Every structure is written in structure tokens, then in C-alpha cells.
Structure 1
Amino acid sequence: MKIAIATKHFKEVGGHIGKSLHWLLYDLTEHHSTRLLPAPERITLERDQIFHVFEDDRPHPLDGVDIMVGASAGEGFMRHMRKRGAQVMLTSEKDPTMAVTRIMAGEALPGPGFDITTSLCKVRDLFSKH
């Protein structure tokens, strides 16, 4: 399983997933629950790889991710990621390691807080190709 966490400069879970530049990628394919989490790979997207502008016309650095975590995302983005094989989870959790630990333990993440960009995304989704 691969889990990608949208972050603010790799320090805490970031806000709007579709606009996130910095990601922590946890490859848990060979992880066992009795071990510590492996160190995540740091991924910095190029401006044209940010999901809000990415055209799906070439491979993406986050291809193959099973779960994407962040604080907010619009329904259009979530539908689009499902088509790409990724589940989107929204949370108010700030600690990326804690978010991954909770997911791996089967625990629910704390729900997302209010984010005005989610409301704006709902309007944008009305006109989205996704």
C-alpha cells in the first residue's frame, strides 16, 4: 500500500490537496505492523504537476498511490482520484506520521475542519471535466 500525504513544506498535513506542491509518500508495501513506519519519500511537484492543472497526459510522480490524505479537496477531485485508483481521505490531523499510523491501525482520522477553499471547489466542480 502506498499513502501520499499532502503537506505544508513536509512538516504537517497540508490544506488543499489539489494545490499541494509538497508530498510525503509512504511505501508500506512490505511494512509489518510490528515495525516502525519507514521514512517517507519527499516529493516536490513541478508547477504543471499540481493536480489542479495536471492534464493526465503523461505519468505523474504520485501514480500508483492507494490513499491520498489532506485537509480539503473538492468532490470533482475526489472522483478524479477514484478513477486513477486512489482513495482520498480528508482530516484535521496535522501530524503526517500520526495520520499514517491511524490509517494502518484501521482507525478513523479526525474529520476535516472548515476550509473555504472546499466551498470554492464545489463551484469549480460544476464546470470541471472530472
Structure 2
Amino acid sequence: MKIAVTSQNRTSITEHAGKCRKFWVYEVANRQVSGKQLLELPLAQSFHESAHAPEPQAPHPLEGVSLLITASAGDGLKARLRQKGMTVCVTSETNPDQAVAAWLQGTLPEVASAPQDCDCGHNHDHTHGHSA
């Protein structure tokens, strides 16, 4: 099993999973971490940018990951990743290693993700905090 953790600063769990380009990817076997590596993506491969690509893309580098741990993610991203078989866990934990260990023990604190506001001009399927 693979677990990815958003870590734009390479040290802590960061927000806005859709725009994140740096992920710690953990290999897990028998509920134990067996490896960890940093995956750095070009801007075009962030979840946000790749969702708006005009033509079909090659498989995403995070395909095959079962769980994404992050500090925030919009509903649209969660739905897209769920369709690809990836569970998204939004947590208040800030340490990637501790978050993975806590998830494996069933003790990772989960929080409701706040709606993501963005001003990129794209028509997103995630909820915005704007009133009509």
C-alpha cells in the first residue's frame, strides 16, 4: 500500500492538496512503513492543473496511492480522487511521519475540510465560500 502526504515545505503536512507539488510517499507493508521518498511534481502535474488539461494525460505519478493525508482538500478533489480509488484524509496533525503512524494505528485526528477559495478563473466543482 502507498500513502501520500502533502508537504509543500518538505517538513510538515500542508494545505490545499490540489495545488501541492511535493508529497512524501510512504510504502506500507503489514501495517509498517517500509520506505519513504519525496515526490516533487512539475506544476502541470498538480491535481489542480492536471484536472484542467486540454488533452488526455499520462497516468498521474500518484496513481496507485491508496490514501492521501493533507491539511485541506476541496470537495471536488476528494470526489475525483475517490473515483480513482484514493481516500483523502484531512487532519490537524502536522508531522508527516506521525500522521502515517497514527493512521496505521487508527488514531489519526481527522477534521472537516474548509471550502477552498481560489481565484484561478477555472469553473471548479469544489464548493466556494461565496454567497449568492
Q: TM-score, normalized by length of structure 1?
A: 0.80
2: distance between equivalents of 1:106 and 1:46?
33
Deviation at 1:38, TM superposition (A): 3.4
Query: Which amino acid in structure 2 is aligned with residue 27 of structure 1?
Result: E
Deviation at 1:64, TM superposition (A): 0.2
Contact conserved, 2:74 with 2:126, CA < 8 A, in 1? Answer: no
Secondary structure at the counterpart of residue 8 of structure 1: coil
Contact conserved, 1:6 with 1:23, CA < 8 A, in 2? Answer: yes
Does the alignment pair 1:104 with 2:100?
Answer: no
2: distance between equivalents of 1:32 and 1:119?
32
Deviations 1:55-77 (A, max 9, x none): 46211111100000111111110
Provide the alpha-carbon RMSD of the alignment.
2.3
| Number of residue pairs matched by the alignment | 119
Between the two proteins, what is the percent identity of the paired residues? 29
2: distance between equivalents of 1:39 and 1:71?
22
Deviation at 1:88, TM superposition (A): 0.4
Contact conserved, 1:71 with 1:112, CA < 8 A, in 2? Answer: no
1: distance between equivalents of 2:126 and 2:99?
30
Deviations 1:24-74 (A, max 9, x none): 00010x2455xxx33411100111100001146211111100000111111
Q: 2:22: which partner in 1? A: 22
Secondary structure at the counterpart of residue 120 of structure 1: coil
1:45 to 21, 41, 44: 41
2: distance between equivalents of 1:66 and 1:48?
22
Deviations 1:93-126 (A, max 9, x none): 100011101110012424257x5xx3426x8326
Q: 1:76: which partner in 2? A: 76
Query: Which amino acid in structure 2 is aligned with residue 65 of structure 1?
Result: V
Query: Which amino acid in structure 1 is aligned with residue 111 of structure 2?
Result: G
- C-alpha change, 1:50 and 1:126, in structure 2 (3 Å) is closer
Q: 2:117: which partner in 1? A: 120
Greater than 6 Å deviation, 4+ residue runs: none
Higher mean displacement: 52-61 or 64-73:
52-61
Higher mean displacement: 50-59 or 92-101:
50-59
Gaps of at least 5 residues in structure 1 are none
Q: 2:130: which partner in 1? A: none
